[in-house]
Amino acid sequence: MIETRKITAEDLVENPVIAAMSEYNHEQLLFCNDNATGLKAIIAVHNTTLGPALGGTRMWMYNNEIEALNDVLRLSRGMTYKNSISGLNLGGGKAVIIGDSKTMKSEALFRRFGKFVNSLAGKYITAEDVGISPLDMTWVNMETDHVAGLPGKSGDPSPITALGTYVGMKACAKKQFGNDSLAGKKVAVQGVGHVGEYLVKHLCEENAEVYISDIDQDLLKRVSNEHGAKVVGLDEIYDIDMDIYAPCALGATVNDDTLSRLKCSIIAGSANNQLADEVKHGQAVLDKGMIYAPDFVVNAGGVINVYAEVTNNTPAWALQKAEGIYDTVHQIIQRSSDENTPAYAIANKIAEERIEAVGKVKLPF
């Protein structure tokens, strides 16, 4: 997804934090500290042109503050692009809590964090991300209404994320093979966790020939038995004869090594940051005649689900919106081939164009 230059310790010696923010035009950073609860967090609001900045809170044991700062700057900017290209009236934001999610959680810490979220008065809406559970969010919700992804509300985003990935894959198939049927196509799904398994289900139901890998052997066996997918090795997955590679586990699996091995003509999966180096590998994929469905476009089902919750839209609306990922991907890959420009760059451009256009609408009379 969007490449963001990493801020180094040297940068921060020479340039204070505002310079780091101005590199990608972040609007606001809120540093949160509370000795009593042990809360150390950063909330980043990247851009609110389209609406309040929505993005999850990640709890992670960062090695240092620079790592946390880089992560929150990069992730919040990514949310601006994802929300924009998905046609949502949302800006981009993200929060990171610095700490071990296994040992440092408490009601008090999350309520204190909720007070900080509330102090932004709706400019930032939080939700779950890595290391955060629905229970944690109920604590945050005790102090602020600006929370989504609560238990009993929009629920598990994975099925709708898988649906978006599946229809995005079909749009790529239409361009590459002349029709969007995946029947008989060899699809390799890396990672059969929450999203991967639902994707496998769609593919098997359409009679695709599905190959799966996962580090969790029990899960792998169950998914294979339940849906009729064939198991392949963790490294073997890059070498098998396949039409479509669907990364649904890790980032950066499209890299120098794997690109010399992958025989597919489509890459479409739910994992974030699939291109190890966006510029280099985005171009390499294009040069090889492969179609790449930009990750932040096809995996937007989750945020669409959350958006439905905050705007009181129905689950049916969210499903229909996620199905629209087909048309968005179609538009991107058509422009990518017309302009001979990598798909990720076209997706970025479309997201930026919408922000610019809507920014004009929002000018005061």
C-alpha to C-alpha distance for 148 and 87, rounded to whole angstroms: 18
Is residue 164 marked as binding?
A: no
Q: Is 165 helix (H, G, I), strand (E, B) or coil?
A: helix
272 binds ligand NAD (CB under 6 A): yes
Is residue 130 marked as binding?
A: no
C-alpha to C-alpha distance for 335 and 330, rounded to whole angstroms: 9
DSSP state, 236?
Answer: G
- Quickly list DSSP for 297-362: HHTTHHHHHHHHHHTT--HHHHHHHHHTHHHHHHHHHHHHHHTT--HHHHHHHHHHHHHHHHHHHT
Q: Which range in 106-114, 190-198, 333-341, 344-352 contacts ligand NAD by CB under 6 A?
A: 190-198
236 binds ligand NAD (CB under 6 A): no
Which position among 6, 40, 82, 94 bears the catalytic label? Answer: 94
Smallest gap from residue 158 Cβ to ligand NAD (A): 4
Is-catalytic flag, 94?
A: yes
Is residue 194 marked as binding?
A: yes
C-alpha to C-alpha distance for 223 and 202, rounded to whole angstroms: 13
275 binds ligand NAD (CB under 6 A): no
Tokens of 349: 């451009």
Q: Which range in 90-98, 155-163, 178-186, 259-267 contacts ligand NAD by CB under 6 A?
A: 155-163
Tokens of 144: 């602020």
- Helical segments of the chain, H only: 9-14, 17-23, 65-85, 107-119, 134-141, 158-177, 194-205, 217-227, 256-259, 278-287, 295-298, 301-310, 315-323, 325-338, 343-361
Smallest gap from residue 154 Cβ to ligand NAD (A): 11
* Complex with ligand NAD: residue 39 or 147, whichever CB lies closer: 147
234 binds ligand NAD (CB under 6 A): yes
* Complex with ligand NAD: residue 27 or 128, whichever CB lies closer: 128
Q: Is 230 helix (H, G, I), strand (E, B) or coil?
A: strand
Find the residue with minimal CB distance to ligand NAD.
Answer: 193
Sorted by sequence, the CB contacts under 8 Å of residue 20 that are 6+ apart come out as 7, 11, 12, 69, 73
* Complex with ligand NAD: residue 38 or 155, whichever CB lies closer: 155
* Complex with ligand NAD: residue 216 or 353, whichever CB lies closer: 216
248 binds ligand NAD (CB under 6 A): yes
Given 88, 96, 125, 195, the residue binding ligand NAD (CB under 6 A): 195
193 binds ligand NAD (CB under 6 A): yes
- Map the footprint of ligand NAD across residues 204-233, applying CB under 6 A: 213-216, 219
Which residues are documented as binding site? 191-196
Residue ranges that bind ligand NAD, judged by CB under 6 A: 157-158, 161, 190-196, 213-216, 219, 234, 248-250, 270-272, 299, 302
Catalytic (active-site) positions: 94
